């Protein structure tokens, strides 16, 4: 079994009346890449700062490796073996790339460490430049090299792509993630972007109002959200009334296989929009009342005979015009139930 590298046990942090982090518990295995995903103001940065040692918890324990670093004892940030990449990279403008990366490293072996870290991020040739002579992406790699140079056990990334042009973002994400994976370091990435969290991380922890609502693989969270809020936060969702019997759940858009172990009776059913196929049918039960062309797919809103509106997402080669009557054809995919 993978040893645990980070553990938070019932950690809380208040700022006056605000409970920024509220009894949060979370574990990361050694070498795991976890994304902490949640809306603005939910406490993500505070949780990261508690791990790094820039804040002290009011309650709870913080472990890094097999050592308690906060809670009864206090280990200062410089002794936690944690590297951090900030949103604005926080590079020293008056120092060269090499000196930025070497800042704070022990003198013995410093030059070799700097060379190694710049090699890891593919910037070996740019050690003598100053930060303002680099592109945004190169500056970010310098910040990563600086975080990796002391060979930390853990790297914390706080919304590292928020200042990057959206066109470049996805290739930069992949590049940074593959550098981090190659080092085998444990990574905690803070983001409010679901796509970023899902595409990069081994596991995602969902945070709301200071609490960790759910942690799991992207698939577990997308198809098996713990709450209705989680369902709606990580993607478009139809949440419909349904009735469960004999392993099937009946809804007004069709019948779906139910997850195992749920008690029969009335339920709320999460049906993701890609599970609802539309077929043009003059006698169909629905009418397309909204249609958004998104390139690789089209997002529809369909009003049913009883006034309920559901959404459907279909490949754009199946395009259906606005105002047309349609029949709904559910796919036998995964649905989640809420009681
Ligand atoms: P964002 O995605 O917008 O950066 P976040 O999820 O990282 O948000 P935090 O920055 O951790 O959220 O803030 C959580 C809550 O704690 C917010 O209500 C914030 O206003 C409050 N807060 C954070 N730091 C302080 C502080 N030093 N003093 C007072 N309140 C604070």
Structure confidence by residue, pLDDT tens digits, 298-317: 999 999 999 999 999 999 88
Buried b (16+ CB within 10 A) or exposed e, 160-182: bbeebeeeebeebbebbbebbee
What is the SS3 assignment for 332?
coil
Q: Using 50, 70 and 90 to split pLDDT, how confident is the model at 135?
A: confident
Q: Are residues 129 and 264 in the same domain?
A: no
The alpha carbon of 7 is separated from its chain's Cα centroid by a whole number of angstroms, namely 18
Q: Are residues 212 and 265 in the same domain?
A: no
Q: Tell me: pLDDT of 274 over 80.
A: yes
Q: Tell me: pLDDT of 121 over 80.
A: yes
- Ligand 1 within 6 A of CB of 44: yes
Q: What is the pLDDT of residues 167-184, one digit of tens each?
A: 778 888 888 889 899 999
- Ligand 1 within 6 A of CB of 45: yes
Q: Could you tell me the pTM of the whole model?
A: 0.90
Q: Are residues 177 and 323 in the same domain?
A: no
Structural domain boundaries enclosing 271? 237-338
- Ligand 1 within 6 A of CB of 40: yes
Q: What is the pLDDT of residues 47-84, one digit of tens each?
A: 999 999 999 999 999 999 999 999 989 999 999 999 99
**Among 45, 88, 197, residue to substitute to test ligand 1 (most atoms within 8 Å of Cβ):** 45
Q: Are residues 15 and 104 in the same domain?
A: yes
Q: Are residues 76 and 90 in the same domain?
A: yes
Domain boundary at 191, 214, 231, which?
231
Domain boundary at 231, 260, 285, which?
231
Domain boundary at 176, 207, 231, which?
231
Residues 6+ apart with CB under 8 A from 1: none
Report the domain count for the chain. Answer: 2
Q: Are residues 287 and 171 in the same domain?
A: no
- Ligand 1 within 6 A of CB of 42: yes
Q: Are residues 216 and 245 in the same domain?
A: no
Calculate the average pLDDT of the chain.
91
């Amino acid at each position: 079994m993978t040893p645990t590298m980070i553990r938070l046990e019932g950690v809380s942090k208040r700022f006056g009346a605000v409970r920024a982090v509220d009894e949060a518990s979370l574990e990361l295995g050694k070498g795991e890449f976890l994304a902490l995903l949640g809306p603005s103001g939910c406490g993500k940065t505070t949780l990261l700062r508690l791990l790094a040692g820039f804040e002290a918890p009011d309650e709870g324990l913080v472990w890094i490796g097999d050592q308690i670093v906060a809670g009864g004892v206090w280990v200062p940030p410089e002794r936690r073996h944690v590297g951090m990449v900030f949103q604005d990279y926080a590079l020293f403008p008056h120092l060269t790339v090499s000196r930025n990366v070497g800042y704070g490293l022990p003198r013995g072996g410093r030059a070799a460490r700097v060379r190694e870290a710049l090699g890891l991020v593919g910037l070996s040739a740019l050690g003598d430049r100053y930060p303002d002579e680099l592109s945004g992406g190169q500056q970010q790699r310098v910040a990563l090299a600086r975080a990796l140079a002391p060979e930390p056990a853990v790297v914390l990334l706080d919304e590292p792509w928020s200042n990057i042009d959206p066109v470049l973002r996805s290739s930069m994400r992949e590049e940074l993630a593959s550098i981090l994976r190659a080092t085998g370091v444990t990574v905690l990435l803070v983001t409010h972007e679901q796509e970023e969290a899902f595409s990069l991380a081994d596991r995602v922890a969902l945070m709301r109002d200071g609490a960790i609502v759910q942690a799991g693989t992207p698939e577990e969270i997308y198809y098996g959200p713990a709450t209705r809020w989680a369902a709606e936060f990580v993607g478009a969702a139809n949440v419909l009334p349904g009735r469960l019997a004999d392993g099937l759940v009946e809804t007004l858009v069709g019948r779906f296989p139910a997850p195992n172990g749920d008690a029969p009776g009335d339920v709320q059913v999460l049906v993701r929009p890609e599970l609802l196929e539309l077929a043009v049918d003059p006698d169909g039960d629905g009418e397309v009342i909204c249609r958004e062309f998104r390139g690789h797919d089209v997002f529809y809103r369909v009003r049913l005979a009883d006034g309920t509106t559901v959404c459907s997402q279909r490949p754009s080669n199946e395009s259906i015009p606005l105002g047309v009557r349609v029949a709904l054809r559910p796919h036998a995919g995964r649905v989640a139930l809420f009681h």
